[in-house]
């Protein structure tokens, strides 16, 4: 099954799902109401989201997120970035989220910040040191110089050697860093991110996360615990993007933007970028 990613100035890209199914996609905004089009609730920083022309010259409007100078997250004032919970799909035990991201040319990654990822469970507050026994989130993050990672927030009782494994920086209070630096974000260029989550079997630690950038697998992490109960499934996307960070040292030093387009939820197989 295939779907159109979009057009740039010179290149037509396509996304194909070799053995999976596209469950939902958003490649343009039919109502111009961002939250409605994402089937989203509980937003923060809505004033920082706007539909604008593609910075690379594509024909469709794209979602721009604004980070005002000196800001570090949409929960503080002045608000920086934006956050909402999107529920466009029926919950499942395996899901792949794909989208394109573009960092402005003047983007300073500072110490790091959040990017959208998958979520699941019975609560929408699965972040920031709150209880994670009934939920999980697997947001992407950017770190210094654009290093990428999966920011993994899940139940604490991972396997006994979890913190000793390669590509793990443990933080059982705020979330674990998985795969930091195994890929790097670029500025002034569209990049396609794909994240697959396979939840664990109840009573086992056999879940996994896989990551692809521009169709190339860059990271895989197995033997993960996402849940204790079968009621916890992948429920949608945690659209979360901001600088931070627990203090002002994470804040952006100047006004800057990211842009997003071409959101897909699919089953099992990751997309391959062609063209």
pLDDT value of residue 240: 95
pLDDT of residue 134: 85
Number of domains in the chain: 1
CB 265 within 8 A of CB 92: no
Phi then psi for residue 144, to 5 deg, are -50, 140
pTM for the structure as a whole? 0.91
Looking at 18-137, list the stretches that DSSP marks H as alpha helix, in order from N- to C-terminal side. 34-37
Q: Is 245 left (phi over 0), alpha (psi -120 to 50) or beta?
A: left
- Cα–Cα nearest to 128, from 244, 249, 248: 244
CATH number for 161 = 2.60.120.200
* Residue 205 tokens, joined: 């630690």
Of 215, 213, 273, 262, the closest CA to residue 54 belongs to: 262
State how far the Cα of 21 lies from the Cα of 271, in Å rounded to an integer.
10
The per-residue pLDDT for 170 is: 95
Q: Whole domain around residue 135: which residue ranges?
A: 2-274
As averages over each run of 10 residues, the pLDDT of the chain (275 residues) reads 35 56 93 93 92 96 97 86 95 96 98 97 68 86 98 93 96 92 98 97 97 95 96 96 90 97 85 53
Q: How far apart, in Å, are the Cα atoms of 243 and each of 42, 170, 201?
A: 19, 20, 34
Question: Residue 48: helix, strand or coil by DSSP?
Answer: helix
pLDDT, position 76: 79
CA 51/CA 141 separation, integer angstroms: 23
pLDDT at residue 140, as a whole number: 98
Residue count of the chain, please give it.
275
């Amino acid at each position: 099954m295939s779907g159109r990613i979009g057009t740039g100035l010179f290149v037509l890209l396509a996304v194909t799902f070799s053995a999976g199914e596209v469950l939902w996609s958003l490649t343009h905004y039919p109502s111009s109401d961002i939250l409605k089009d994402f089937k989203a609730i509980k937003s923060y920083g809505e004033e920082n989201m706007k539909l604008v022309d593609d910075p690379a010259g594509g024909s469709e409007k794209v979602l721009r997120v604004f980070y005002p100078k000196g800001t570090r997250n949409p929960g503080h004032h002045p608000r920086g970035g934006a956050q909402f919970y999107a529920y466009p799909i029926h919950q499942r035990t395996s899901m792949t989220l794909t989208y394109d991201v573009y960092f402005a040319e003047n983007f300073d990654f500072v110490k790091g910040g959040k990017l959208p990822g998958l979520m699941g469970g019975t609560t929408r507050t699965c972040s920031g040191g709150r209880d994670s026994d009934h939920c999980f989130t697997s947001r992407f993050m950017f770190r210094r110089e654009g290093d990428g990672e999966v920011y993994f927030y899940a139940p604490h009782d991972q396997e006994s050697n979890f913190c000793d494994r390669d590509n793990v920086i443990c933080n059982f209070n705020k979330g674990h860093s998985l795969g930091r630096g195994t890929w790097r974000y670029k500025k002034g260029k569209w990049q396609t991110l794909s994240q697959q989550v396979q939840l664990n079997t109840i009573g086992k630690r056999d879940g996994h996360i896989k990551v692809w950038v521009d169709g190339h697998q860059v990271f895989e992490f197995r033997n993960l615990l996402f849940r204790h109960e079968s009621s916890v499934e992948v429920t949608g996307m945690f659209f979360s993007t901001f600088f931070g960070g627990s203090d002002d040292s994470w804040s952006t030093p100047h006004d800057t933007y990211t842009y997003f387009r071409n959101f897909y939820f699919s089953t099992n197989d990751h997309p391959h970028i062609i063209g």
